Structure 1
Amino acid sequence: MGDVAMSVPVLRAFTQQYPNVKITVLTRAFFAPLFRDLKNVNVFSADVKGEHKGLFGLYKLSRELQKENCDAIADLHNVLRTKVLKPLIGARKVSSIDKGRKPKKQLVKGEIFEQLKSTIQRYTDVFKTLGFPLDLSAPKFPMPAALNPNISRIIGTLNKKRIGIAPFAAHDGKKYPLELMEQLIKKLSKDYQVLLFGGGKNEIIILNDFESEADGIINLAGKLSFSEELDVISNLDVMLSMDSGNAHLAAMLGVKVVTIWGVTHPFAGFAPFNQPVDYALVADRIKYPKIPTSIYGNKYPEAYKDAAGSVSVETVVDKIKSILN
């Protein structure tokens, strides 16, 4: 989801700078709400677990896409499925993302430690190759969404600034220790409304426990549609997230995003869009010198599991308060 969300600021810039060009986004149906405010953009849903599964399914998908009469293909994913699909569609121009695997491998091995090209930059390179250079230096974002009665009923109308917190990530090495997260949420709830984001039964149970700790803490997990969650996020004053998809959802909507990093590092190019460098709170590399242990956080020494915990609760609270004040 993070990769898809990072494409939104790029496509928004594209629609503003090339308003006469139509874009068809091929993605899973679940992600369609991400593109809802983009002009001249329509979403073509791929059912990769159903009718578009396997080689026969990709062939069927290609026949359907041929009806779109695409002049060019911008492959922002560049995986086996898209490599099979691209020649079947038959567009005149094709450009695919260079994921920078070699420098990322060097970063993980400790051979280099420097900022690599961001995913956003890699996306813009794809369009530049197709003849559409993009300027993302002054991005424009949509206005905060109007909140429907269902959302208003859940979060109320407190006259406080709103902080969204997404405590979870795909891999344990990217998560802030739960006992520290609990302390953090309680501290912030004294001055702000805290809205918790997550999904899945286990996460909902944990977030319900957090919610019960104090007034002003509201667990949204399992209560809203994805589109409604995006509406809430657009109304946040700041989002606190791990190195995960929620950071990119907030960033694409122009929300200020503070991220906590464990065994991964912003140098790999996955920092949320348009955020100051100091909004990324990274683990202590003196204590954990092998960071980043992997690009996606799925590989790390056991002793590094709680590396994110080397960022103190006070550091996170001070950063958020400095932004809100």
Structure 2
Amino acid sequence: MSKKILAFRFSAMGDVAMTVPVLKEVLKQNPDTEIVMVSRPFLKPFFENIPRLTFFGADLNGEHNGFKGLRNLYKSLQAQGPFLAVADIHSVLRTFILDAFFQTSGTKVVRIDKGRKGKKQLTRPKDKVMQPLRPMPERYADVFRKIGLTVELPHQLSPKVSDALNQAELELLGGKNNSWIGIAPFAQHKGKAWGEVKAVALAKLLQEKENAKVIFFGGPGEESKLLDKCVEQVPGSINLAGKIKLKEELDIIEHLDVMVSMDSANMHMASLRGTPTVSVWGATHHYAGFIGYGQDKANIVELSTQELPCRPCSVFGNKPCLREDYACLEEVTPEMVYQRVATVLNK
């Protein structure tokens, strides 16, 4: 009889993406196990074509909103069981409520240890403890280990499947006659966003020195509008922000030679499709455990903590800059990022 595990992770987009390689390893190494993964419906493409994984979309802004909505979600999930255990790999108020429902019905619940103490020591203004914390994928895996499953993570990029792009994607991008470089210059918080001015300068360098096709990535709305202006300044570049579905975005990312990303979801999406990423880090630091799964730390571009001792000042990039000048991002130049991209291209 198979062991069925229920797992929760609702946000953020990059954190949900980081669960994918872990879930794949859990299922690969435990062939008698099934997983029901609960997350936001629009993130379903992350979890497609994974044997013995069932995706369940939770409408947290609609029918599953509030206490009553979570009760309804619990009842719907209960019908997917019985479950050996609940793997709460989010540990927020919503999942605590769901955990309590399942515990009341006798189901074992294991929650993630987020390592808050270490993160506070890493990001406090003075006397920082500058040492690598446990990577988030390992924290996810620890939950399944506590359930009693075998999980060893190789921390390697997924191999590219290299399926051909569909006709619509080809019409959008054209044929691949040179290097394709993705640039995703934005992030959810200001302390992680490089911005459009430096992105344009980098794009011009890549076109001039590498004859590369530059493809901009970002979110819908304001980011898409800003990237449209970038395209006006970089003839021949393409803006995909807000113009394609997530599944198509993942397919195109797989065909990139390199992705340039902030400490943001695009880095983690590139990891899912085996694309090396040059990542720009500002207020945050990879010591907190959020580097893309399998990505090479040599491809991180940042100011050292000797150059800027206030780094890192935040785990998520959401705290105001104490210096008020965001030097951690402003002093990372397009030339610095280009040099790292060129190194990756020439490997």
| Cα distance, 1:177 vs structure 2 | 4.4
User: 3-state SS of the aligned residue for 2:161?
Assistant: coil
Q: Conserved in 2, the CA contact under 8 Å of 1:268 and 1:295?
A: yes
Structure 2: which amino acid aligns with 1:107?
A: L
Structure 1: which amino acid aligns with 2:139?
A: R
Moved over 4 A (4+): none
Distance 1:37 1:239 in 2: 24
Q: Conserved in 2, the CA contact under 8 Å of 1:283 and 1:309?
A: no
1:243 aligns with 2:258: no
| Cα distance, 1:282 vs structure 2 | 1.6
Distance 2:212 2:165 in 1: 19
User: 3-state SS of the aligned residue for 1:22?
Assistant: strand
| Cα distance, 1:272 vs structure 2 | 0.8
Kindly tell me: are residues 304 and 112 of structure 1, through their superposed partners in 2, closer, same or farther at Cα, counting changes over 3 Å?
Answer: farther
Structure 1: which amino acid aligns with 2:141?
A: T
Specify every segment of 5 or more residues in structure 1 that has no aligned partner in the other structure, as ranges. Answer: none
- Residue in 2 that maps onto 1:167: 185
Please, what TM-score do these two structures have when normalized by structure 2? 0.89
User: 3-state SS of the aligned residue for 1:173?
Assistant: helix
- Residue in 2 that maps onto 1:158: 176
- Residue in 2 that maps onto 1:83: 96
CA distances 1:49-69 after superposition (whole Å, capped 9, x unpaired): 111111111111111111111
Q: 1:17 aligns with which of 23, 26, 29?
A: 29
1:253 aligns with 2:270: no
Q: Conserved in 1, the CA contact under 8 Å of 2:302 and 2:328?
A: no
| Cα distance, 1:288 vs structure 2 | 2.6
**1:122-201 maps to which residues of 2 (within 5 A)?**
122-137=139-154, 139=156, 140-141=158-159, 143-190=161-208, 191-201=211-221
Structure 1: which amino acid aligns with 2:187?
A: A
Q: 2:230 aligns with which of 196, 201, 210?
A: 210
- Residue in 2 that maps onto 1:3: 15
| Cα distance, 1:87 vs structure 2 | 2.6
**1:50-65 maps to which residues of 2 (within 5 A)?**
50-65=62-77
Distance 2:22 2:339 in 1: 31
User: 3-state SS of the aligned residue for 1:95?
Assistant: strand
Q: Conserved in 1, the CA contact under 8 Å of 2:155 and 2:293?
A: no
| Cα distance, 1:204 vs structure 2 | 1.6
| Cα distance, 1:172 vs structure 2 | 1.4
Q: Conserved in 1, the CA contact under 8 Å of 2:59 and 2:65?
A: yes
CA distances 1:26-78 after superposition (whole Å, capped 9, x unpaired): 11101111001211111111111111111111111111111111211111101
Moved more, 72-81 or 296-305: 296-305
Specify every segment of 5 or more residues in structure 2 that has no aligned partner in the other structure, as ranges. Answer: 1-12
Moved more, 294-303 or 28-37: 294-303
User: 3-state SS of the aligned residue for 1:298?
Assistant: coil
1:318 aligns with 2:326: no
Aligned-residue RMSD, C-alpha = 1.6
Q: Conserved in 2, the CA contact under 8 Å of 1:144 and 1:235?
A: yes
| Aligned sequence identity (%) | 39
| Cα distance, 1:142 vs structure 2 | 5.2
1:111 aligns with 2:128: yes
Kindly tell me: are residues 304 and 272 of structure 1, through their superposed partners in 2, closer, same or farther at Cα, counting changes over 3 Å?
Answer: farther
User: 3-state SS of the aligned residue for 2:294?
Assistant: coil
Please, what TM-score do these two structures have when normalized by structure 1? 0.95
Structure 1: which amino acid aligns with 2:338?
A: V
Q: Conserved in 2, the CA contact under 8 Å of 1:2 and 1:245?
A: yes
Structure 1: which amino acid aligns with 2:322?
A: P
Q: 1:219 aligns with which of 239, 244, 259?
A: 239
- Residue in 2 that maps onto 1:275: 295
Structure 1: which amino acid aligns with 2:134?
A: K
1:73 aligns with 2:98: no
Structure 1: which amino acid aligns with 2:55?
A: V
Moved more, 59-68 or 295-304: 295-304
Q: Conserved in 1, the CA contact under 8 Å of 2:196 and 2:227?
A: no
CA distances 1:120-152 after superposition (whole Å, capped 9, x unpaired): 110111111111121222644451343111111
Q: Conserved in 2, the CA contact under 8 Å of 1:176 and 1:306?
A: no
